[in-house]
Amino acid sequence: MGWFNMGLLFFSSMLFALASASSRNLPIIPFDEGYAPLFGDSNLVIHRDGKSVHLSLDERTGSGFVSHDLYLHGYFSASIKLPADYTAGVVVAFYMSNGDMFQNNHDEIDFEFLGNIRGKDWRIQTNVYGNGSTNIGREERYGLWFDPADDFHQYSIVWTDSQIIFYVDNVPIREVTRTESMGGDFPSKPMTLYATIWDASDWATNGGKYRVNYKYAPYVAEFSDLVLHGCAVDPIEHVAKCDNAEAIPSSVTPAQRIKMESFRKKHMTYSYCYDKVRYKSPPSECVINSQEAERLRKFDPVTFGSGRRHHGKRHRHSRGSQTEAASF
């Protein structure tokens, strides 16, 4: 297919570009130039500067927006401020998907922010699906070193033909490297960027134990500094348009890798690679880190140790595309 080959050639050449490039070098675009409302009507409010958006959840509905274009690889980023106070059951998502085009074999790259009860912190979940591989959940969960409801923080996704990197404030927190064994499970088809806020009471907080309490509504998530920097794909002709592309940070530098390892050591609370309840043997792409394995085993000896019993259930949920998450 033309778009695939062109995208691979273009982004393979970019791997040799400025790997340490910062998103500060990439253009921030007005909302109307890159995005359109997805759902929620008046629950989506565009700021007067045209570059900031508020998404809210109330008793009526959640809300969301979507990029105008499909992209095959690139750098996608937003500064986000999450709702404060009691947020159990609330999910804010910043993700890429092509579920509307490929309902049975969609790809997806997720940042999901999971709300909590008062006094408990927000949690971040990242996930990757390729070719409809929802039977293999590739979730990881983390705490943060700051309160994401106090101020804006930057969340970014880098996607190339061989790598996916998740960043928080320019600190890489997860790196997914394509392996031959993954086959089509690595996202490889053009995707659209989405941002949503919605009621996920059935699974988001302690497996559904704590639900959204609309006494605290509206729940408002604020988005700004929107960056869409990738290889846009014509939805009809499937031709990649990369004329205006610049270098993107396409690999983790040695200094960033030290920060990533430190983050994962301090803040990661779940990784599918170490879940002995779900997988008797780790999926083939997993690279087992003995220190991570030992720390998670001490954190949750049932899930990451013996695997004999499990406190929690799997729930399938939808926000325009189907993914599967486990509560831990």
Residue 323 has a pLDDT of: 36
CB of 130 closer than 8 Å to CB of 184: yes
Write out pLDDT tens, residues 246-301: 556 668 999 999 999 999 999 999 999 999 999 999 998 899 999 999 999 999 99
Residue 15 has a pLDDT of: 35
Segment 141-164 mean pLDDT: 96
Q: How confident is the model at residue 41 (pLDDT cuts 50, 70, 90)?
A: very high
Catalytic residue among 33, 108, 140, 292: 108
> For residue 113, is pLDDT > 70?
yes
Which position has the token pair 């949503």? 196
Domain map (residue ranges) of the chain: 31-299
Which position has the token pair 């499990």? 310
Residue 246 has a pLDDT of: 55
Q: Regarding predicted confidence, which is higher, 23 or 61? A: 61
Catalytic residue among 59, 112, 140, 246: 112
> For residue 312, is pLDDT > 70?
no
At residue 297, the 3 state secondary structure works out as helix
Residue 313 has a pLDDT of: 39
Segment 157-184 mean pLDDT: 94
At residue 191, the 3 state secondary structure works out as strand
Write out pLDDT tens, residues 203-239: 999 999 999 999 999 999 999 999 999 999 987 777 7
Residue 96 has a pLDDT of: 98
As given in the structure block, the two tokens for residue 246 are 């610049």
CB atoms within 10 A of CB 104: 7
Active site residue 108: yes
Segment 63-67 mean pLDDT: 98
What is the percent of the chain where pLDDT is above 70? 83
Poorest-pLDDT segment among 34-43, 65-74, 88-97, 230-239: 230-239
DSSP code per residue over 172-195: EEEEEE--GGGGGGS--S-BEEEE
Residue 309 has a pLDDT of: 53
CATH code that applies to domain 31-299: 2.60.120.200
At residue 183, the 3 state secondary structure works out as helix
> For residue 163, is pLDDT > 60?
yes
> For residue 6, is pLDDT > 90?
no
208-to-9, 77, 80, 112 alpha-carbon distances in Å: 45, 30, 25, 16
Residue 234 has a pLDDT of: 84
> For residue 58, is pLDDT > 60?
yes
- Integer Cα distance of 23 and 165 in angstroms: 14
Residue 284 has a pLDDT of: 87
CB of 236 closer than 8 Å to CB of 73: no
At residue 154, the 3 state secondary structure works out as strand
Active site residue 112: yes
Poorest-pLDDT segment among 114-128, 187-201, 223-237: 223-237
